[in-house]
Amino acid sequence: MTALTLIIGNRNYSSWSLRPWALMTHLGLSFDEILLELDTPAFAAEARRHSPTGRVPALHQGALVVYESIAILEYVSELAGGRGWPADRALRAEARAVACEMHGGFGALRASCPMNIRARDRRVAPTPALLADIARIDALWSVCRERHHGRGPWLFGEYSAADAMYLPVAFRFQTYGMQGLGARALEYLATALEDPLITPWVQAALAETRRLPSEEIGTAP
């Protein structure tokens, strides 16, 4: 297979980059990484060289450039013989809906609680919009786990692109100490945060020293 290169942003902050990285890692695909420092004078020009949107992530394979995290998830799943999604067609449709909901939604959560893997004990205002996003995540994770717990520990039993999409949400729960998850959802949160395959990303994120003030949100509890 032609070599794959994933273009990513700072591991501590770049939630969109983490998603394809997590799925590619779970699928056992081998790939190189190029990290572009977010919010630097060089970023805009560099990112434009790698992706037409000037954003990360992007995936390169020879002359092919795939951008938009969800399109990358689809592509790498195809490269792995479809293993990025559930084998069952109905489950696959549900998993795609759940993944698309993350890609296009949860605006309050994303805006008020940026992913910041190394930060702990941050608190943000529990606005109605944020609480509504948390309630929806609780419902979604709980229903998935209730229905699929017999097949494995992930949203649809086996690991899928849906889990990769929600991994940055798990880090947000850890950073901002958000309440509101029921037992099943909490169990899933622990599964996501304790996933040994993401350890290299987390270790690298913890080793990063650069701070982006725009992403350092929240006060001590």
Residues of the shown chain interacting with ligand GSH in the complex, contacts defined by CB under 6 A: 9, 14-17, 38, 55-57, 68-69, 103
Shortest gap between Cβ of 147 and ligand GSH (angstroms)? 27
Q: Which of 24, 45, 54 is nearest to 161 (CA)?
A: 24
Shortest gap between Cβ of 17 and ligand GSH (angstroms)? 6
What amino acid occupies position 43?
F
Shortest gap between Cβ of 153 and ligand GSH (angstroms)? 25
Cβ proximity to ligand GSH: between 24 and 181 the closer is 24
Shortest gap between Cβ of 111 and ligand GSH (angstroms)? 12
Q: Point out the residue whose Cβ comes nearest to ligand GSH.
A: 55
Cβ proximity to ligand GSH: between 56 and 91 the closer is 56
Residues 6+ apart with CB under 8 A from 94: 86, 156
Cβ proximity to ligand GSH: between 16 and 171 the closer is 16
Cβ proximity to ligand GSH: between 58 and 178 the closer is 58
Long-range residue pairs from 71-79, CB within 8 A, at least 24 positions apart, any chain: 72/6, 72/19, 72/20, 73/19, 73/20, 73/23, 73/99, 73/161, 73/164, 73/165, 74/161, 76/4, 76/20, 76/23, 76/24, 76/27, 76/29, 77/23, 77/27, 77/161, 79/1, 79/4, 79/27, 79/29
Cβ proximity to ligand GSH: between 165 and 181 the closer is 165
Shortest gap between Cβ of 75 and ligand GSH (angstroms)? 12
